[in-house]
Homo-oligomer: A and B are copies of this chain.
Amino acid sequence: MSGNTFGKIFRVTTWGESHGKAVGCVVDGCPSGLDISEADIQRELDRRRPGGELASKRMEEDRVHILSGVFEGKTTGTPISLLVYNKDTISEHYVKIKDTPRPGHADLTYWLKYGHRDWRGGGRASARETVARVAAGAIAKKLLLNFGVNVIGYAVEICGIGWNQSVKISDEKDYLKLYEFSERSPVRVPDFETSSRIIEKIKQLAEEGDSAGGIAEIVVLNPPAGLGEPVFGKLSAVLSMAVMSVPAVKGVEIGAGFGVARMLGSENNDPIILKDGKICLETNNCGGILGGISTGNPIVLRVAIKPTPSISKPQKTIDLKTMEETEIRIHGRHDTCIVPRAIPVLEAMVAITIVDFMLLHGMIPRRLISESY
């Protein structure tokens, strides 16, 4: 779980720059015998793709190629190499700002750290890298569905316009309804009226040359109990790492999250009860995780996503060649709000984490077919 590789058994290594030849990943440790096709992966990539009037105008087909690890439609247990070519790159936009780091972007820190960087389109720090995460996540999600586990996500707040949050949901079906509704909303908000207000606000900000952030909620439905490796490899800790590694994420909370600071113990503790003869928690303030181990209840994470740093309003920066203060206005093709497109990426990271723990605990076997052949 370091550098560009994530996971212990199901290990995803991503590579590629925004305006390089391609982006891609290697998925190692996937069990053998899983049915997987380029179409399975494409579906998830299409959920992440720019499109519609609210998103970046960069038009990428994002067609995925499986180069290894799949034979006759099934995984072989060997590394799966996935590749997506970059096609619609216009690097000219970036030539003139290559010496003036964009505020809120990684330009400055990459320059400080590496000394030499691909400045075209943000290079490696571009959200374009998340194409590879979503492709890998598509495999993880399909594998999880084989075991009845579903990872979903939607937005609960954008530009300060919140939707009445999900804390009181107790039934997994209600989560699924939210998700299905959100998938039809251009901003992935599971409520029509809130969705409309947010769309209006985003259009207005786009005109003003500004941008907005928000909060996404990711839920794991029907997770097994017992996931997590205390004391450092707690499920909560590894999930936090997973989502915090996604570009623009500045906060993560589980269950009641920051709300716990204002709750009493008697309010926050989830009573342990029986339901149909099975041990169950009456509420889910713990977000499905106690002591770093999953309870079997839905796992609920909320993630804070910052406003797109690329804005056309003038901003203060410096010229790295002359070391003088200057001003920058960013033109190009950017999303005013990245939250809707970040959701499939967050789902991917959560799905990869859950798959990895299930493999680590022997809950998913290393081969899915009982007979050889």
- Among residues of B, the one whose C-beta sits closest to the C-beta of A339 is B261
Query: Smallest distance from the beta carbon of A316 to chain B beta carbons, Å?
Result: 4
The reply to whether A117 and B71 form a contact with Cβ atoms under 8 Å apart is yes
* One of B72, B76, B290 near A124 (C-beta < 8 A): B76
* One of B29, B77, B263 near A213 (C-beta < 8 A): B263
The reply to whether B67 and A232 form a contact with Cβ atoms under 8 Å apart is no
CB proximity to B under 8 Å, residues A249-300: 249-274, 277, 279, 282, 286-287, 290-296
* One of B115, B213, B295 near A373 (C-beta < 8 A): B115
Is A116 in contact with chain B by the CB < 8 A criterion? yes
Is A50 in contact with chain B by the CB < 8 A criterion? no
Question: What are 8 A-B contacts defined by CB distance under 8 Å?
Answer: A5-B28, A77-B116, A77-B117, A105-B291, A212-B265, A250-B260, A257-B304, A265-B311
* One of B108, B247, B264, B296 near A211 (C-beta < 8 A): B264
Are A308 and B265 also in contact (CB < 8 A) when A255-B250, A316-B282 are?
Answer: yes
Is A165 in contact with chain B by the CB < 8 A criterion? no
Are A304 and B253 also in contact (CB < 8 A) when A211-B265, A212-B264 are?
Answer: yes
Is A171 in contact with chain B by the CB < 8 A criterion? no
- Other 20 A-B pairs with CB < 8 A, given A5-B232, A125-B230, A274-B324: A3-B79, A5-B13, A21-B67, A78-B114, A104-B270, A104-B286, A105-B291, A106-B290, A106-B292, A115-B371, A231-B245, A236-B244, A236-B245, A240-B240, A250-B253, A250-B256, A250-B257, A250-B260, A251-B258, A265-B307
Contact count band on A: 35 or more
The reply to whether A245 and B292 form a contact with Cβ atoms under 8 Å apart is yes
The reply to whether B229 and A240 form a contact with Cβ atoms under 8 Å apart is no
Is A344 in contact with chain B by the CB < 8 A criterion? no
Query: Smallest distance from the beta carbon of A26 to chain B beta carbons, Å?
Result: 5
Query: Smallest distance from the beta carbon of A170 to chain B beta carbons, Å?
Result: 15
Are A261 and B67 also in contact (CB < 8 A) when A11-B5, A240-B241, A254-B251 are?
Answer: no
What is the CA–CA distance of A101 and B269 in the complex, to the nearest angstrom?
12
